[in-house]
Structure 1
Amino acid sequence: MVYTEENIRELLNKILEPPLALFSLQVQNRKNHALIEITLDHLTHKTGSVSLFDCEEVSRRLKEELDLWGEEFDFTLQVSSGGVERALRIPEDLDRFQGLLAKLEVLLEDGDWDKRIFRLGERVGDSIYLVPYDRKASKRKEIPAIEKPLTEIRKGNLFLEL
C-alpha cells in the first residue's frame, strides 16, 4: 500500500473535530517507508496555535488508523502546530488575523519586493489597510495606515513581538 495525501486526508477528516482543522499535509513515500507531515490549525485560537495535547491526540488516533493498514509498511508521523509565527494564507488569513502583527513580503514603489512588519487592518475588496510597525515609535505617536492591493503582497507570516 502507498500512503497518499488523499487517503491520509480522508482519515484526518474522520479524526479532526472543530475547532481543530488541517492546515497542511505532506506525504513523502520511499521504499517501504512514508514520511507523513501534518500541521494543524486551531480555528478559534487568536493565532491558530494548537496545543501539544491536541498534536499528541491527533497523532495517536491517526497512528491507530494507519496501523490497521498492515504492519509491512513503515511510516514516520509528525504532527505539529502552525505556531504563533505561522505562514499566512492570503487573502483569507488577512481577515482572520486582523489586528495582529505580520511580516509580509510586499511590492515597494521601486518595483522591488521586501519583507516588512505591519499590523493587519481591515480588508476592503482587493485591498487591505496595513499599519507599518515601528518598534521605536512611542505608543502616543500614531502611524497612519496604508492601503495595499492584495496583488502587491506575495506571502507572509504572523509576527510575535517579544
Structure 2
Amino acid sequence: MAVKLDAIRNAAQRVASSLGLDVVDVELATAGRERTLRVLIEKNAEGRAALKAQLASGAENEELPEALREGTLSVEQLSGVTHEDCAALSRDLSVVLDVEDLVPGGEYLLEASSPGLDRKLTKPEDFERFKGSLVKIQTFEPIKNNRHWQGRLTETKGESIIVDLGAVKQNSKSRKSGVTTVEIAFPNVEKAQLVPEI
C-alpha cells in the first residue's frame, strides 16, 4: 500500500487554491502504527499582496503580527495563514483524500499548518522569492570540502544560487575554505531552509 505523495500534493493544491492558499510541502510521517500527513500551507501571491497593502496603508491593525508591523519580519517570510485557513483546508482535504482513497491502509492524522519561519526552500522560485534572507544549505556533493553552508542568499543565477558567507559566523570548515561567497547549483542542494532573523 504505497502512498502516492504526488497525488496527495496535487489534491492538496486543488483544495488550497480554492481557499486562496498555496501548498508549500506535504510529508507523511510514520511512527509505529501512527501515520501523520502534514500539509504546510501559506497565503497565495494574491493573499500576500493583500497583506502588503494592509501593512502599507499605515493603519493600526492589531490583526497583523507585531514583528510584521515593526518591520523585523517581511510579508514574504510570513505565511499569513490563520487557524481558520488550516481548519478549512483540513476539513475540505480530508473529504477529497477519503473519496479518492489517496491514503490507503486505515487511519491517519491530517495536520495543516504554516511552514514556519525556518521553512524549507525546495523550488528555484523559493530561492528567488527569499533573496536577501539568511539560509542554511546542505549539499549532496561537497564544495571546497564542505557540504554545510550558512549565509545570506544574495542572488539566483541561472541554475545556481549565490550565498554570502560573511552574514553569519561560520563553522571551522567554512572558515578554512577561505571563501566569502559560495555558488551552489540547484541540483546539488540536498536541503535548504530559512534561518529566522528575529
Q: Shared fold by TM > 0.5?
A: yes
Taking the aligned partners of 1:69 and 1:128, their CA distance within structure 2 comes to 39
Taking the aligned partners of 1:156 and 1:23, their CA distance within structure 2 comes to 13
Q: 1:98, CA displacement in angstroms?
A: 0.8
Segments of 5+ residues of structure 1 without an aligned counterpart are 136-144
Residues 67 and 83 from structure 1, CA distance in 2 versus in 1: closer, same or farther, beyond 3 angstroms? same
Taking only aligned residues, the RMSD between alpha carbons, in angstroms, comes to 3.7
| TM-score for the superposition, normalised by structure 2 | 0.57
| Equivalent residue for 2:77, pick from 28, 31, 47 | 47
Structural mapping, 1:65-84, within 5 Å: 65=96, 74-84=107-117
Taking the aligned partners of 2:6 and 2:123, their CA distance within structure 1 comes to 24
| TM-score for the superposition, normalised by structure 1 | 0.67
Which of 56-65 and 91-100 deviates more?
56-65
- Asked if structure 1 preserves the Cα contact closer than 8 Å seen for 2:136 and 2:148, the reply is no
Q: 1:69, CA displacement in angstroms?
A: 7.5
- Asked if structure 1 preserves the Cα contact closer than 8 Å seen for 2:37 and 2:109, the reply is yes
Partner of 2:152: 119
Taking the aligned partners of 2:192 and 2:26, their CA distance within structure 1 comes to 19
Taking the aligned partners of 2:35 and 2:182, their CA distance within structure 1 comes to 45
Segments of 5+ residues of structure 2 without an aligned counterpart are 49-75, 170-179
Query: More helix per residue: 1 or 2?
Result: 2
Residue 63, structure 1, aligned to residue 99, structure 2: no
Which of 121-130 and 18-27 deviates more?
18-27
Residue 149, structure 1, aligned to residue 172, structure 2: no
Partner of 2:168: 134
Taking the aligned partners of 1:33 and 1:108, their CA distance within structure 2 comes to 39
Query: More strand per residue: 1 or 2?
Result: 1
- Asked if structure 2 preserves the Cα contact closer than 8 Å seen for 1:103 and 1:115, the reply is yes
- Asked if structure 1 preserves the Cα contact closer than 8 Å seen for 2:121 and 2:192, the reply is yes
Residues 19 and 146 from structure 1, CA distance in 2 versus in 1: closer, same or farther, beyond 3 angstroms? farther
Letter in 1 for 2:77: T
- Asked if structure 1 preserves the Cα contact closer than 8 Å seen for 2:87 and 2:112, the reply is yes
Taking the aligned partners of 1:149 and 1:115, their CA distance within structure 2 comes to 10
Taking the aligned partners of 2:20 and 2:86, their CA distance within structure 1 comes to 13
